[in-house]
Amino acid sequence: MSRFTVQTTICLSASAVLMVMTELSATHTSRLNYEIATGIFCAVFCLVPILLNRLRIMTVPATLVLISIVSVFFHAYGVLLMRYDLVRTWDIFTHTTSSVVVSLCAFYALLCIDRFDKGMRTSPLMMHVYIILITMTFSVVWEVFELLADNIWSIHMQYSPWDTVKDFGCDALGALIIVAYAGLFYRYRDPDELIEDLDLHPGLVRYLEAHSDAGQDA
Amino acid sequence: MVTCFVLTAVCAATGAYAGDLTWVFSSVFGIAVLIMPYRLTKDRSVGFASEILLPLPFVLVSFIVLTLATGGRMGLFEDLWPVSIALQAWALMIYGYAALIVVNNHRGSLISKRWMLLFSMLVANTLMSLYVFYIFAEMIRLGIPVYDDYTVVSDSALHNWYLMAQMTITLFFTIAYGFVLRRRLRSIPKQTLVSYHKEA
In DSSP notation, A170-190 reads HHHHHHHHHHHHHHHHHHH--
At residue B49, the pLDDT reads 85
CA–CA–CA angle B90, B95, B97 (5° rounding): 95
Q: Is the Cβ pair A140, B159 closer than 8 Å?
A: no
When divided into structural domains, chain A yields a total of 2
Domain boundaries, chain B: 2-198
Angle between helices B21-34 and B81-106 (to 10 degrees): 20
Query: Are residues A105 and A205 both part of a single domain?
Result: yes
Asked if A108 and A47 sit in the same domain, the reply is no
Same-domain pairing of A74 and A132: no
> Is the same domain home to A168 and A122?
yes
Domain end residue (candidates: A87, A117, A142): A87
Query: Do both A187 and A101 map to the same domain?
Result: yes
Contact A94/B at CB under 8 A: no
A64 in any annotated domain: yes
Nearest-angstrom CA–CA distance, A145 and A150: 9
Output the CA torsion sign for A142, A146, A147, A149. Answer: positive
Distance from CA of A172 to the nearest CA of B (A): 9
- Does A217 reside within a domain? no
Chain B residue closest in CA terms to A130: B119
Q: How far is CA A120 from CA A128, A179, A211, A214, B109, in A?
A: 15, 19, 11, 8, 7
Is A13 a domain residue? yes
Question: Does residue A96 sit in the same domain as residue A70?
Answer: no
The pLDDT value given to residue B66: 93
pLDDT at B15: 92
**CA-based nearest distance A39→chain B, Å:** 26
Same domain, A103 and A203: yes
Q: Point out the residue among A134, A141, A150 whose CB comes nearest to the CB of B157.
A: A150
Q: Do the Cβ atoms of B112 and A213 come within 8 Å?
A: yes
Domain residues for the domain of A147 are 89-210
Given an 8 Å threshold on Cβ–Cβ distance, is A147 in contact with B156? no
- Taking 50 as the pLDDT cut, the residues of chain B under it are none
CB-CB under 8 Å, B112 with A119: yes
A15 and A108 share one domain:
no
Nearest-CB residue to A134 (from B111, B122, B156): B122
> B164, A143: Cβ pair inside 8 Å?
yes
Å from B69 to nearest chain A CA?
Answer: 31
The answer on A148 and A166 residing in a single domain is: yes
Judge: B107–A216 Cβ closer than 8 Å, yes or no: no
Which stretches of chain A score pLDDT less than 50?
Answer: 1, 215-218
Is residue A215 one of the residues assigned to a domain? no
Q: What is the model's pTM?
A: 0.90
By the CB < 8 Å criterion, does B187 face chain A?
A: no
Which whole-number Å values give the CA distances from B108 to A17, A114, A125, B102, B105, in the listed order? 48, 13, 10, 10, 8
Instruction: Quote the CA–CA distance of A2 and A59 in Å, as a whole number.
Output: 13
Query: Is residue A216, in this structure, part of any structural domain at all?
Result: no
